[in-house]
Structure 1
């Protein structure tokens, strides 16, 4: 009977994409990477509570988000000072007051959850445990998602985490990704939607090289561009957006 219950629970965990962090040194390191601050923390995917306990030990006020009923009940019992919310992290209603984010994100929803976070307005920093390749890609820039959000956020890699640090053991290593809101954005937030449409159009546009693609998309001739969109820095994207102010661009992307 016990074996059947455990097997059913194990299947449920796999369906939820749960890979629990079991290495206390990794949990401690991740929490130590947070900026010293009295801000409360929203923890995404609390699971067995490895990060939760380190956050509490560090004196943080924690709201733990966990979908699995078994582990949310365990957390309420073992961490009475923590506010435990049982729900899908993609459906969680984030606070309007300032806070920080910590999360061991299920590998299957990493990109969706990252996009959801980037669209929220009140958090200052996010320490995310994700797949190694995703963490490395985000920190190095060059992707559509990075380019669309780089004027408002910085992405930094803070180390690789062995797959053996999780249970069940995943097929790939993890990586610690820190996302920090820029204190001085590279462009006004009011330009967000227009800028993101512009970036997507350049990334998906046709042309032999970036200069031709930009000309095809905007009607503007811009010199001294690198070969590909992925080669542009956050500052270069901002400058390119500002330069393409010809009539065709204003009409397409809604610039005033």
Structure 2
């Protein structure tokens, strides 16, 4: 079974990764426990693992897919399979009880989250304070991925609002259009100061998502 698994094996980095976890936020949920390389330093309350081959290595195990989490609160720690990243985050923003995530992600993905005007970038910057910690080379993992990775902390700062999610998804489809045109295409009729909207959606960096939303008469900002 190929599940995009790349397990962190560098002991010094594992200890550093675990040091970023806030042990006061419970339950502590690990996703993708594997053979327990991180687990043995973390002692999580719940481990979510899709690959049943690792069941002999792990306690408090739930066999489940991280894209459809069987938990609704707590803190998540994971060296997340890269191929599920988008689907995982699209669901996690809806779970207000998940207050913090300590994750190992593909470096290219987190660079896009910080710099590029995409739906997932706006979404994550709206719901979380994002802190990039360390860059990890491929040889810290087994099997080696073809890309560099990064340790990233996500601290929830807002509760889920479906209307915001839908608006950000729609606006992101029109990132080359002027703001006023994109907002009107997305059904936002209560737009402020149309005369100043010479900017295009792509001109707003992900960290400016509040400024983007403030162009509309909403209660979301």
Question: Shared fold (TM-score greater than 0.5)?
Answer: yes
- CA distance in structure 2 between the partners assigned to 1:46 and 1:193 by the alignment: 31
Q: Does the alignment pair 1:176 with 2:159?
A: no
Flag the structure with higher helix content.
1
Residues 1-256 of structure 1: pairs in structure 2 closer than 5 A: 12=1, 15-35=2-22, 37=24, 39-56=26-43, 61-76=44-59, 83-95=60-72, 98-140=73-115, 142-182=117-157, 185=158, 189=160, 192-205=161-174, 208-215=177-184, 217=186, 218-219=188-189, 220=191, 221=194, 223=196, 226-229=199-202, 231-232=204-205, 233-242=208-217
Q: CA deviation at 1:44?
A: 0.5
Q: CA deviation at 1:133?
A: 0.5
Q: CA deviation at 1:224?
A: 5.4
Over 3 Å counting, the alpha-carbon distance change for 1:36 and 1:46 in structure 2 is: closer
The alignment's TM-score, normalised by the length of structure 1, stands at 0.73
The runs of 4+ residues in structure 1 deviating greater than 4 Å are none
- CA distance in structure 2 between the partners assigned to 1:137 and 1:197 by the alignment: 20
Q: CA deviation at 1:171?
A: 0.8
Over 3 Å counting, the alpha-carbon distance change for 1:53 and 1:193 in structure 2 is: same
- Number of equivalent positions: 213
- Contact kept, 8 Å, 2:68 with 2:91, in 1: the verdict is no
Q: What SS is found at the alignment partner of 2:213?
A: helix
Q: CA RMSD in A?
A: 2.6
- Contact kept, 8 Å, 1:150 with 1:234, in 2: the verdict is yes
CA deviation profile, 1:170-219 (whole Å, cap 9, x unmatched): 1111111211101xx3xx75xx2222222222222386433443355445
Over 3 Å counting, the alpha-carbon distance change for 1:49 and 1:146 in structure 2 is: same
Over 3 Å counting, the alpha-carbon distance change for 1:38 and 1:207 in structure 2 is: closer
Over 3 Å counting, the alpha-carbon distance change for 1:92 and 1:207 in structure 2 is: closer
Highest Rg: 1 or 2? Answer: 1
Q: What SS is found at the alignment partner of 1:150?
A: helix
Q: CA deviation at 1:134?
A: 0.8
CA deviation profile, 1:126-152 (whole Å, cap 9, x unmatched): 011111101222244632113234333
Q: CA deviation at 1:27?
A: 1.5
Bigger drift between 203-212 and 27-36 goes to: 203-212
Q: What SS is found at the alignment partner of 1:85?
A: strand
- CA distance in structure 1 between the partners assigned to 2:13 and 2:203 by the alignment: 31
- Contact kept, 8 Å, 1:101 with 1:127, in 2: the verdict is yes
Q: What SS is found at the alignment partner of 1:155?
A: strand
